[in-house]
Amino acid sequence: MKLFDTLTRKKRVFAPLRGKAVRIYTCGPSVYAYSHIGNFRTYLFEDVLVRYLEYKGYRVRRVMNITDVEDKAVEEARREGRTLAQAQKDKIRTFFSEWDKLGLKRPGIVAKASEHVPEMASLIRRICSRGYCRTEPDGVYFDVRKFGDYGKLRRLRHPRYFGKACDDDYVKEGLWDFRLWKRWAASDGKAKWKSPFGEGRPGWHIECSAISMRYLGEQFDIHCGGADNIYPHHENEIAQSMAATGKMPARFWLHCRHLTIHKKKMSKRTGNVFYVGQLREMGVEPSCLRFYLISSRYRNRLDFTMGKMRVQLLLLNRAKKTIRALRALSGKGSAKARSALARKLVSGFESAMDDDLNTRLAFKRIFRLLGNAEKLSASGKLLPQDARGIVRAIEKMDSVLGVLCSSEPC
């Protein structure tokens, strides 16, 4: 199995650090707003990754954070006169409700940033003890000039260093010293914790370094996220973790490309977004949306329009119809039933998925073989044991894909 590693820009053969145990960290939602289908495309890619690793016999330990402490969330809570927990309760509930409807497996560990502030403060102390910090009136910052490998993930060639601290965790242009700890200000309301650096709260980037170390150790196998996380978030994670430990935290860095709408970037500000619940009200069932969002290679940009999705769903509906017919033809028989068609189906699926989770090719091969099986069945040349073998193979593959055996109409 090969996976494309963003750090090396190469497909590399995957092998865990510890036998058959795979440790994965995935960046979770920032719950200052509701998650849209572009966010869920990334989570679905990660779900397919976890499921395929388990399909291949690996034991997966997955950790996902929830960013419930950051500037936008604090501002929303202050504006509404509520605590962070009160302001975010419904967003977190909705997130996991839609997560479950899309058939995503829950991570073994879901870690809220607000519940891991002591670990973050401890990690900041460790980073500072090694000389990578600078103190400003408004907080503690990471001095990027002291970390020689900064920019390695994004491959910043000749970045312009602005020579000062940046208190905006989301700035993507230029090179800034980024915030590790923000000292409390009256505008922060109740969002504050005690620390060696004074009352305040952690920056956005430190949470993932601290949480991954807490549950996965200083080095783990795979770090996932959306392509927008590459810089500055994951770049800063690498700097923080390596400054503290001297070790690259993850062996593989995997990133899912953006979902666009009518070829325009999704943006909550412009309203160019769709939500799972919104699409369901329009007649799109979650399992059908799941299919569309995983039907393209995760490293390719995917454009969403209702028209494009409906065309893809015609293929899925035809496949489901064929599977139902094969199930009826197969009758009752040995669960171990195999056939040359079933072996070809499984082999084609696995070779596609072993090539950096090429779901597009996997679906193409599945649909083609089901089409051939449909023709054989119509001509009376498909034996019950062949049908049974194909159905068993489909059920096995659908433990990864999660769409072929769904009863929901598309």
HEC letters along 159-222: CCEEEEEECCCCCCCCEEEEEEEEECCHHHCCCCECCCCCCEEECHHHHHHHHHHHHHCCCEEE
**pLDDT number for residue 268:** 74
Percent of the chain past pLDDT 70, that is, above it, reads 93
Comma-separated ranges of CATH 3.40.50.620 domains in the chain: 2-261
pLDDT > 70? residue 287: yes
Cα–Cα dist 102/136, whole Å: 45
pLDDT > 90? residue 167: no
Tell me the pLDDT band of 161, cut-offs 50, 70 and 90. Answer: low
Taken in order 370, 371, 376, 380, is the CA torsion positive or negative?
positive
pLDDT in tens, 22-66: 999 999 999 999 999 999 999 999 999 999 999 999 999 999 999
Q: What is the pTM of this model?
A: 0.94
Q: Which homologous superfamily is 2-261 in?
A: HUPs (3.40.50.620)
**pLDDT number for residue 337:** 47
Burial class of residue 294, CB neighbours in 10 A (0-12, 13-18, 19+): buried
Range from 56-70, 358-372, 374-388 carrying the lowest mean pLDDT: 374-388
pLDDT in tens, 193-251: 999 999 999 999 999 999 999 999 999 999 999 999 999 999 999 999 999 999 999 99
**pLDDT number for residue 284:** 93
Q: Are 231 and 150 in contact (CB under 8 A)?
A: no
- Class of domain 306-401 as given by CATH: mainly alpha
Q: Which helix (H) or strand (E) holds 344?
A: helix 340-354
**pLDDT, average across residues 64-90:** 88
Comma-separated ranges of CATH 1.20.120.640 domains in the chain: 306-401
Burial class of residue 271, CB neighbours in 10 A (0-12, 13-18, 19+): exposed
Please indicate whether residue 126 or residue 340 has the higher confidence score (pLDDT): 126
